A and B are shown apart, each in its own frame.
Chain A
């Protein structure tokens, strides 16, 4: 079956009323899960997993995939409106998104995000459909040394992701890395820095840290600064809901770059969607024509990452469908659903169960159209939420975040983490430290360590393993290149600045 025949066959499956309903239910639930801070897609998929056992396997998987990419649409809403990321893949969206909202462009930004998510999701499905078996071979080429290069190199490159001085980024990043060492060490299961608390054995979870750092800290700033609180759009006219011509124009290249980058991240293990959004933000800063505006409310800083996280969510179907190996917790849940229903995941899935493979692909096309249709009209509703006085709306949202955070692991401990992260976030804001590097450190730290140790186990202690493979070496050279280029660019700017000053004297 070639791609076109496959797609037509898939459409004949995905377009049955039951599967259409499953796609819609997944997309809708995903959007809601994304919008609600604290509740992330993993918890959402885990919640509906038992439900899928009574469904036809294809319908169940369509619904689960719908939740995953649906949550990528919804996650940015509160990030843009209130600086509270709905889930971890929307952290970077908050940086420029919130600035844009303050300028009265909330509606336009939400529209750019919805369309960008659609572009990222749809292009990624095309990629999955055309190249999945080829891409699966690429995934096999990556071992511990290559992953170590990607994650450790990524940490270095992303250290100054949100601008500011070097120190204002490195201190939070170090704190993030240190937090990442708490709990069970991945390879041996040894527990560290837990002070005998069983809750800490699983480590510090990302969701309460993110919601606390951004959300709770934001509330404290609002409470402290009434003028700041009054600084919100009084009314949003219809034309403000739509992006301007320039905004559309500026978003398109960012969408495409984000989609491409996100797709690559979806193929490797780890929190693909979150990492993809961070990497895309960094890429926009480096390559976009308006790179210097990013951080103070540039549409590129929102368009790129949001296309990237959707693309990554969709691309993570490749290792799942073509290899039968889960790279993300959501893919693991989907494999569980297949096994319970008696379907053997693996390279033969596409021939043994074409209805699942092509049904999922076709439903992803349909699901993305549904999500676009669902999210564009919602823009007006979301923006009108801004009219609710902040003193009512934010406390309510924070109550929702506490419930969401608690519900992920039924852990009151996570709620304390949420509150503590809020205090840290507030203090860091006051002291002009950057928050995003802390999140990057917390996400990447455990991954870096894990791949570092796995590589040494594999080479039986020989450190050359880190640079022996061509892929790892290439990654390290790229990292060095980016660092040197950045250094030269800064020196030049400083030199030019000094010259200008001199000549004005």
Chain B
């Protein structure tokens, strides 16, 4: 008897599955009705870093604006080029959008060959979500009390001070290299994997002299007095960590934050593009989004469509110069 019951259950489950599959293959409705079904938002990074929460916040608000479900899908790997490529190569129907960063959009095309994008012309810029400045922190028990002491020591001991970063040529690595380039210092970066967690751990365990990363993953340690923040790689004060000295107050102020952007494949129908730009503008300028950014240490800098594209084109040039410096310094 029991066997019969289970068998029926399975038959029903199978039927439900087939019905589900059939439901996916409906004809596409016209562009001006967009959106009529769920939208997929690709995050080209694994959860746990600074990219996942901001993507989910944007998607949550997008869901409220458009009244359809927005599915956030993490597609990490190959320095974020897998997930970014998946968005850029997707069908331009407005149902696939995703997150891009200044690194994945402007830096990676310089390093990797064969990507689906070479410049900002190869994808549709939607909206800039935020900037996130790189911060430099040292273990609490270390001898450097402030940035000046750290840099003086770095000057006296070239290629001796080690700073952990989350991956070779990640934005925090590039920020340190830009400092090396402008200042003539030679701070060694030690790449770790695992989304910044292991880089932070290396500093906590005293295996490196400092760590360069982002506030969302490090603030807990700073608040607890395990790490001391020395610098923030931006022009002005960092509200979240007022003790950090802005790199803008040193002679080597030209630096890189990581920028987070929403992108879509090229060739979106006009009505869909216009609607997406308009709702994205509403979202990034909303108080709810801005207070989320502030609470988590992101810097609000709304740029929609072509304004965003211009910024990325500018990064492209700056990145080229750093790459040249690194190649010459080898």
Contacts and interface: CB of A to CB of B under 8 A. Distances in A.
B48 A189 contact: no
Given A143-B205, A202-B77, A348-B220, A384 B48 contact: no
Interface stretch (A278-286, A453-461, A486-494): A453-461
A53 B49 CA distance: 17
B289 to A, nearest CB: 12
A377 interface: no
Contact of B219 (A323, A346, A396, A454): A346
Given A53-B60, A187-B193, A332-B47, A339 B296 contact: yes
Given A396-B10, A457-B190, A140 B201 contact: yes
B77 A46 contact: no
Contacts of B197: 269, 325-327, 332
**Max chain B C-beta neighbours (<10 A), residue from A187, A325, A333:** A325
B223 interface: yes
B6 A336 contact: no
Given A201-B82, A324-B221, A454 B192 contact: yes
B180 to A, nearest CB: 16
Interface in B96-124: 114
Nearest to A145: B207
A253 interface: no
Contact of A332 (B46, B79, B82): B46
B64 to A, nearest CB: 12
A403 interface: yes
A384 B219 CA distance: 53
A326 B6 CA distance: 40
B17 A140 contact: no
A345 interface: yes
Contacts of B252: none
Interface string A337-353: 00110101111110000
Interface stretch (B26-34, B51-59, B130-138): B51-59
B268 to A, nearest CB: 22
Interface string B67-90: 000011111111101100100000
Interface string B184-208: 0000101111110110111011011
Interface in A350-407: 381, 384-385, 387-388, 392, 396, 399, 403
Contact of A46 (B59, B60, B74, B81): B74
B56 A336 contact: yes
Interface in A287-343: 323-327, 329, 331-333, 335-336, 339-340, 342
A346 B216 CA distance: 10
Contacts of A384: 2-3, 6
B77 A184 contact: yes
Which of the four size classes fits the interface of chain B? 35 or more
B223 A344 contact: yes
B31 to A, nearest CB: 25
**Max chain B C-beta neighbours (<10 A), residue from A198, A339, A458:** A339
Contacts, number: 149
Nearest to B82: A201
Nearest to B48: A332
Interface in B123-161: none
B137 to A, nearest CB: 13
B92 interface: no
Nearest to A460: B188
A339 B53 contact: yes
Given A46-B74, A189-B168, A454-B193, A324 B202 contact: no
A143 B85 contact: no
A387 B14 CA distance: 20
A347 B226 contact: yes
B295 interface: yes
A164 interface: no
A259 B187 CA distance: 44
A196 B114 CA distance: 9
A186 interface: yes
Interface residues of A, number: 59
A50 interface: yes
Nearest to B46: A332
Contacts of A387: 3
A275 to B, nearest CB: 16
Given A187-B168, A347-B220, A460-B188, A325 B200 contact: yes
A188 interface: yes
A329 B224 contact: no
Contact of B205 (A140, A191, A345, A347): A140
A344 B220 contact: yes
Nearest to B7: A388
A410 interface: yes
Contacts of A189: 78-79, 167-169
B224 A348 contact: yes
Contact of A403 (B17, B53, B194, B220): B17
Interface in B205-239: 205, 207-208, 216-217, 219-221, 223-224, 226
B253 interface: no
A141 B205 contact: yes
Contact of B48 (A186, A336, A346, A460): A336
A344 B240 CA distance: 12
Interface in A161-197: 183-184, 186-189, 191, 196
A333 B48 contact: yes
B162 interface: yes
Given A189-B168, A327-B197, A50 B72 contact: yes
A198 B221 contact: no
A342 B2 CA distance: 48
Interface string B157-184: 0000010000111000000000000000
Nearest to A147: B198
Contacts of B76: 202
B78 A340 contact: no
Nearest to B74: A46
A329 B295 contact: no
A329 B46 contact: yes
A258 to B, nearest CB: 27
20 contacts: A140-B201, A143-B201, A143-B202, A144-B192, A186-B193, A187-B193, A201-B81, A324-B221, A325-B217, A332-B195, A336-B53, A339-B216, A340-B53, A344-B223, A346-B220, A346-B224, A384-B6, A385-B6, A388-B6, A454-B192
CB-CB nearest 5 A-B residue pairs: A346-B220, A332-B48, A347-B224, A324-B220, A189-B79
Interface of A: 46, 49-50, 53, 139-144, 183-184, 186-189, 191, 196, 198, 201-203, 269, 323-327, 329, 331-333, 335-336, 339-340, 342, 344-349, 381, 384-385, 387-388, 392, 396, 399, 403, 409-410, 450, 454, 457-458, 460
Given A201-B81, A340-B56, A454-B198, 5 more contacts: A50-B71, A187-B193, A189-B78, A339-B53, A457-B190
